[in-house]
């Protein structure tokens, strides 16, 4: 790409955003950028190959005062930081070349001022400015914004980036292209939104899958813990049944021991009664023997001296036998 083409792309990139169907005043694509500077209200000068070149805007005449010219020069200095020319005729003069041309100025490359439009801003200029019927279209220019009727000249469509001339361009077709471009832009925005929604949905699905996997792992862990608890519960229930069976056996043994204890108590009571009876019988017999012994002893000393000694020994033996029998009986009861 040539240096001039690169500069055109750079200047076009500086274009300001404008509303839909609003066209920006522009420069012809075949115009040439040049380092020219305002010389007076209608002329610029530049140097080419070390020679001075004067550039005059065709079809424009200044008919104002010096004060008006000073104000116009200040305006041109601010507007003409970039200058492009479309040379219509070139002549040689004593002071250098003179180009009769269409001159375009721009302060920042966002829009361009065709000097033929200066009469629309300053009354000191004399020149014919043609207007064209452009329904539903708006032209944004450095000398004002026009709707419906726009100054004839070159414009840029910010939507399609098309550069066109009015009159000559099909504005209806351009408006239709702009509407289609706006629809395409809206569809692209919807598509990007749908893509963003799909990305968010995919991210959400991934999060849900991760949460599901985590919950499934927790479920398996809980199931394993439940199986262990069930196994422990089954073991505890088996131990409980064994303890209950052993308890039943112990209860049966306790009942048997209680029955045996009751039987022993009954036998003990019977034995006690028997013992009491024996004690009473033996006590009665002993008392009788003692009485007999006492009667015999009190019968007289003579009887004892003449041969009653054997009877006394018999009584003592009988008493010893009763005592011995009582002792044996008590030992047997103690052993039972």
Domain CATH for 38: 2.40.50.90
Q: Is residue 204 part of a domain?
A: no
Whether residue 199 is contained in a domain is answered as no
Task: Tell me if 262 is assigned to some domain.
Answer: no
- Domain enclosing residue 284, as ranges: 268-335
Please say which residue of 137, 165, 193 terminates a domain.
Answer: 165
Please report whether residue 216 resides in a domain: no
* 150 and 278 inside one domain: no
Is residue 25 located within the same domain as residue 143? Answer: yes
217 located within any domain: no
Same domain, 161 and 284: no
Domain-ending residue, one of 125, 144, 165: 165
Whether residue 136 sits in one domain with residue 273: no
**Are 159 and 273 part of one and the same domain?**
no
Strands 61-62 and 144-151: unpaired
Asked whether residue 25 is domain-assigned, the answer is yes
| Domain count along the chain | 2
Spatial distance between the Cα atoms of 305 and 157, rounded to a whole number of angstroms: 179
Q: Is residue 251, in this structure, part of any structural domain at all?
A: no
| Residue at a domain's end among 144, 165, 186 | 165
What does pTM read for this prediction?
Answer: 0.51
Query: 156 and 273 share a domain?
Result: no
For 29, phi and psi rounded to 5 degrees? -65, -20
For residue 65, being part of any structural domain is answered with yes
pLDDT tens for the chain, 336 residues long, are 544 454 444 344 444 343 446 899 999 999 999 999 999 999 999 999 889 999 999 999 999 999 999 999 999 999 999 999 999 999 998 888 999 999 999 999 999 999 999 999 999 999 999 999 988 889 999 999 999 899 999 999 998 899 999 987 566 555 555 566 667 778 888 888 888 888 888 888 899 889 888 888 888 887 788 778 877 877 888 888 888 888 888 888 888 888 888 888 888 888 778 777 877 887 787 788 778 777 777 765 555 455 555 656 666 676 677 677 777 777 776 666
The residue among 135, 141, 162 whose CA lies nearest residue 153 is 141
DSSP 208-259: HHHHHHHHHHHHHHHHHHHHHHHHHHHHHHHHHHHHHHHHHHHHHHHHHHHH
């Amino acid at each position: 790409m040539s240096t001039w083409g690169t500069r055109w792309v750079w200047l076009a990139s500086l274009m300001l955003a404008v509303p839909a169907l609003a066209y920006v005043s522009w420069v012809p694509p075949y115009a040439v950028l040049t380092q020219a500077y305002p010389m007076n209200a209608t002329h610029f000068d530049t140097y080419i190959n070390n020679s001075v070149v004067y550039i005059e805007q065709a079809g424009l005449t200044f008919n104002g005062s010096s004060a008006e010219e000073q104000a116009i020069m200040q305006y041109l200095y601010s507007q003409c930081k970039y200058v492009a020319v479309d040379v219509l005729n070139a002549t040689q003069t004593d002071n250098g070349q003179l180009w009769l041309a269409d001159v375009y100025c721009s302060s920042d490359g966002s829009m361009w001022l065709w000097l033929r439009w200066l009469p629309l801003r300053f009354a000191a200029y004399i020149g014919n400015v043609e207007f064209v019927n452009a329904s539903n279209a708006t032209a944004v220019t450095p000398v004002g914004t026009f709707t419906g009727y726009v100054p004839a000249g070159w414009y840029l469509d910010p939507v399609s980036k098309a550069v066109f001339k009015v009159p000559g361009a099909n504005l209806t077709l351009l408006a239709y292209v702009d509407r289609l471009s706006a629809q395409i832009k809206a569809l692209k925005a919807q598509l990007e939104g749908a893509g963003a929604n799909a990305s968010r949905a995919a991210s959400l699905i991934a999060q849900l899958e991760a949460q599901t996997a985590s919950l499934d792992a927790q479920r398996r862990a809980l199931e394993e813990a439940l199986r262990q608890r069930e196994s422990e519960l089954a073991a505890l229930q088996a131990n409980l049944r064994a303890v209950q069976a052993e308890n039943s056996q112990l209860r049966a043994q306790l009942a048997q021991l209680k029955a045996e204890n009751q039987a022993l108590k009954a036998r003990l009571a019977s034995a006690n009664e028997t013992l009491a009876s024996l004690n009473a019988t033996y006590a009665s017999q002993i008392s009788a023997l003692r009485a007999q012994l006492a009667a015999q002893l009190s019968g007289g000393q003579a009887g004892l001296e003449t041969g009653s000694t054997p009877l006394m020994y018999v009584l003592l033996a009988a008493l010893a036998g009763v005592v011995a029998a009582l002792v044996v009986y008590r030992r047997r009861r103690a052993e039972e």
